[in-house]
Amino acid sequence: MPKRKATMTAHPATDATAGAGRRAMPVERLPQPCGIPPAGAVPAPAGHPHGDLDRAGRAAVARATAGVSPQAVIDAWSDWATHLARSPGRQLELAELAQSSALRLLGHAVGAAGGGAAPAPFEPKPYDHRFVHPAWRMPPFSLWQQGFLAVQDWWDHATDRLRGLRTHDADRMRFQARQTLDLVAPSNFPWLNPEIIEATLESGGRNLVEGAGHFSQDLLHTLTQARRPAPEGYRIGTDLACTPGKVVYRNHILELIQYEPRTGSVHAEPVLIVPAWIMKYYILDLSPENSLVRYLVEQGFTVFVISWCNPTAAQAELSLDDYRKDGVMAAIDAINAIVPGARIHANGYCLGGTILAIAAATMARDGDARLASATLMAAQVDFVEAGELLLFLDESQVAFLEDLMWAQGYLDRPQMARAFAAIRAEDLIYSRAVQRYFLGKQDLPTDIGVWNADTTRMPARMHSAYLRGLFLENRLTAGRFAVEGRVIALKDIAVPLFVVGTEQDHIAPWRSVYKLALFTDCDLTFVLTKGGHNGGILSEPGHEARHYRIGHRPKDALYLGPDAWCARHVPREGSWWPELSAWLARNSSGKVDPPGMGAPELGYPALADAPGSYVHQT
């Protein structure tokens, strides 16, 4: 098997700072006119040994705060409080709101005391399921619920955007206020939650005993970070990630899986799926009934999937460009050997779509015409409107995370998972805690739940470059992202694009995903589907209560904004997967006999059965 040499070359756009890894890395930079430093460049640390003491101290604090910079929190509070203090009009508005809310609560309490059907003046947000039990509508529980919702409503107004207040600080303040209120919600306390009281009376307190056992198990797991075995019926390679195939290439960063054909003939152009390195690839090959991989194979496509390694501290110096060269491009080279002469339908999911867009733009710049099309699923190329994850990112936050990764060599998934859970803390943290610890209910295993618990890491240097070059400085769409010393442009991509956004995505908001239409001129099909970041993509045919919108933009057509696009395209019932299959077929050149599994004579033998070994790395 031919081996590809790992390259660690630093690039001016993807390695903007030397502080990403355990030691300073030399950074190549493009010549700058008039001696102006590159945009976003950060001065290299002085290198004095006392600097390591500072970084070690910050890393220790970062572990305790789950990577949240105290300075960023203080800055947001200070900015908000200062502007509110010199805004007497807003203060009067908030005082009037408090008075109005108090009167509405008083009216509700009087009506409830009189035994009448007093209408609730405040309603939970659509995604808030903490108060669904019928007893929350009856006193005294309704008074506690309404009081909490009234305070929540007041803080929503108090942290609304204020003239002169930085938008980022206003949004961060609202997030912090919501986190604090979620902690003290009446649903979290057994003596205030009617559902817990009812369960305790019915079971004689057994729910609390079982909940205490669950809490002990979770505490031990948190302290030891021991890997939990997959539940029965959810084993990797047997029940999940079980589409038949072979590992046909392996290097230090990936295993390439080729799936066995299930039809007598196949489309001439193979499909390469590039998942995000933040996740195990089998989110796209879960159970047989909701596997996108299996679906495409059954539609007559030759499918290849990248299975990323789970990096350790020894791989801290892997760069973002390593993932492009030794990841995406290495996979394309292997597929070209196995299916000679065929162009490739490339498909990127989440961060995999971002690195695929970078690779596609680089290939277009360099005259590499091996792509037949590109599909980007819930993937962003512009990060100005990147959703609530931006609340965790500014210079202080990124530097804080860099120091944490400097000490560890990587960012661990549990540290990332806390940020994702905090975005919907009322459901992902507190509602689950109530169910598990006070109601004594076990978590029911699901395929996506098992996948979500199968955590991964991200190497320090790559993640630092990703946060700075893409999230913080938005270089890719600003014309300042260089690959191998030269800037790339998304508008150079000429192959047809199939872009998927999901309606409730808090990681890659669909309007942000849609912005690819603003930075490209090629033929583009956009799909907006029901669901969130994962659930919207796993929208197999037959899935109940699914819908999607689809629209086509011809090459060189005028730009249409996202809201206007949404208004113009009506929802269609069902799954969007058949639309993808039909689109791939239209952009293919016909049917041929299935290729062989691997190409042993060219150095790509079948090394192992799917799902390979990297998916089992812990």
**Contact (Cβ atoms closer than 8 angstroms) between residue 20 and residue 322:** no
Residues contacting 588, CB < 8 A, separation 6+: 267, 268, 269, 345, 372
Average pLDDT (96-114) is 89
**What single DSSP character describes residue 156?**
H
496-535, pLDDT tens digit by residue?
Answer: 999 999 999 988 999 999 999 999 999 999 999 999 999 9
> Greatest CA separation found in the chain?
86
Q: Are 187 and 434 in contact (CB under 8 A)?
A: yes
pLDDT digits 0-9 by tens, 332-379: 999 999 999 999 999 999 999 999 999 999 999 999 999 999 999 999
Please name which of 254, 305, 296, 248 lies closest in space to residue 597, comparing C-alpha atoms.
248
Select 245-616's CATH number: 3.30.420.40, 1.20.58.1910, 3.40.50.300, 3.40.50.1820.
Answer: 3.40.50.1820
One-letter identity of residue 557 = A
Residues assigned a catalytic role: 350
Hey, what are 87's tokens? 């805004």
Residue spans of the domains in the chain: they are 72-186, 245-616
Q: Are 196 and 438 in contact (CB under 8 A)?
A: yes
| CA-based R_g, the chain, Å | 26
pLDDT of residue 38: 40
Q: Are 28 and 485 in contact (CB under 8 A)?
A: yes
The pLDDT, as a whole number, for residue 592 is 97
Query: Is residue 248 within 8 Å of 607, Cβ to Cβ?
Result: yes
User: Model confidence over 412-462: pLDDT tens digits?
Assistant: 666 555 555 555 555 667 788 888 888 888 888 889 889 988 888 888 888
From the CB of residue 135, how many other CB atoms can be counted at a distance below 10 Å?
15
Mean pLDDT of the chain: 85
> What mean pLDDT is predicted for residues 399-411?
71
